[in-house]
Amino acid sequence: MLLIAGLGNPGPRYADNRHNIGFMAADAIASRHSFSPWSKKFKSEIADGTIDGEKVLLIKPQTFMNLSGEAVGEAMRFYKLSPSDLIVIHDELDLVAGKARLKTGGGNGGHNGIKSIDAHCGKDYRRLRLGIGHPGVKELVHNHVLGDFAKADAEWVEPLLDAIADNAAMLVHGEDSQLMNKLALATGGEARSARPEKPKPAGRSHIHQARDHKPKDLPKSGPMADMLKKLFGGE
């Protein structure tokens, strides 16, 4: 069984916050794959179901973000799961809004929800990081994170959540690069393997450039004609 934890803060006050995009992703997956109704357990809201034959438990910790690890850790101990059975979906300040990245382990990047999960569950779990952008100034971070998405953000938030739900089987089966391509395309980005970089043309010598501008009227005979024919490839 896999445990997929979407992070956020509980209650209607925080429902549309950027910090709650993990909750939103969990809701999208549950709806798309006909999971059970949400119920309360492990200091969380949980829903269970299957994705492409894999049993999955979705969890939305209700402990508030800073204590997310308490709820996730309780569920993992109950089901005797290891960090490799855990996927966490959360907001990421250091990614451009709409961008997504998947990684296993690593630092918490100052994210208190991740810091709590690291402390209670270990660090070697997969993390689906969903970019919410950075306000540019440290003093504005708190209000940015706990502020609601703007109406204009719907242009990328809704396609991103839909793509996560549509391609949840890739998330479950560890098809990370394929999933990243799907999410990038859904939000108007460029799939990493879609457009390979074209090789740069080799440098051209002055002689080659000169040949591209061959004079129309060359002398027909004499020493000058012989020299120009060698240079420009005259007939």
- DSSP-based three-state secondary structure for 53: coil
Distance from the Cα of residue 139 to its chain's centroid: 25
Instruction: Report yes or no: 108 and 114 within 8 Å, Cβ to Cβ.
Output: yes
Instruction: Report yes or no: 106 and 123 within 8 Å, Cβ to Cβ.
Output: yes
The order of strands in the sheet holding 2-6 is 39-41, 44-51, 54-61, 2-6, 86-92, 126-131, 100-104
Residues 6+ apart with CB under 8 A from 197: none
CA distance 192 to 158: 21
Tell me whether residue 67 is exposed, middle or buried, using C-beta atoms within 10 angstroms of its C-beta: 0 to 12, 13 to 18, 19 or more: middle
Task: Examine the residue annotation and report whether 19 is marked as an active-site residue of this protein.
Answer: yes
- DSSP-based three-state secondary structure for 161: helix
Catalytic residue among 19, 33, 90, 111: 19
Name the residues annotated as catalytic: 19
